[in-house]
Amino acid sequence: MSYENKNFDENRGDSRNESLYSKRIKAGKRRTYFFDVRATRGNDYFITITESKKRFDDNGYDRHKMFLYKEDFNKFLAGLTDTINYVKTDLMPDFDFDAFNHDQENEEGGIVTASADTPHVSAIAATDDSSSVDDWKM
């Protein structure tokens, strides 16, 4: 699920804490990742990545947050892509990673099934620092 925050008001004093855009990724029964775009007071943008895990005693959630600034976007994406590709090609070349593209719940609670039309991120060798994130196919 992703959405654009239509209630974002740049004139509010606390607007830097508001999320302009959010993407939620459910990962199992107890873990969810959130990717949020936020604004600074100087009208600059950054991403927060939050891992939220339900506690085993069912008493709330543990949250871990990372801040990713625009000057690090390309390096972060290149490093993540290299690391994932290493696991997929060198450590586990025979593993079917597509088997984990299972059904996900949509915003209304219904089931969305993966199909040939479902967009996916293509694996890219991220060794050229001169390339832009915009050049990568998603």
Predicted confidence band of residue 13 (pLDDT cuts 50, 70, 90): very low
pLDDT tens, residue by residue, 49-83: 999 998 888 788 999 999 999 999 999 999 999 99
Residue 38 has a CB neighbour count (10 Å cut-off) of 20
Whether 93 shows a pLDDT value over 90: the answer reads yes
The region that residue 12 occupies, defined by phi over 0 for left and psi between -120 and 50 for alpha, beta otherwise, is: beta
Which tokens is 80 given? 């993540």
CA-closest candidate to residue 19, choices 6, 37, 33, 2 = 37
pTM of the full structure: 0.60
Whether 37 shows a pLDDT value over 90: the answer reads yes
SS3 state at 38:
strand
Q: Are 54 and 36 in contact (CB under 8 A)?
A: no
Q: Are 22 and 35 in contact (CB under 8 A)?
A: yes
**Residue 120, CA atoms < 13 Å, CB-side half-sphere:** 12
Position 57 scores a pLDDT of 82
Query: What structural domains and CATH numbers belong to the chain?
Result: 2-135 (3.10.450.700)
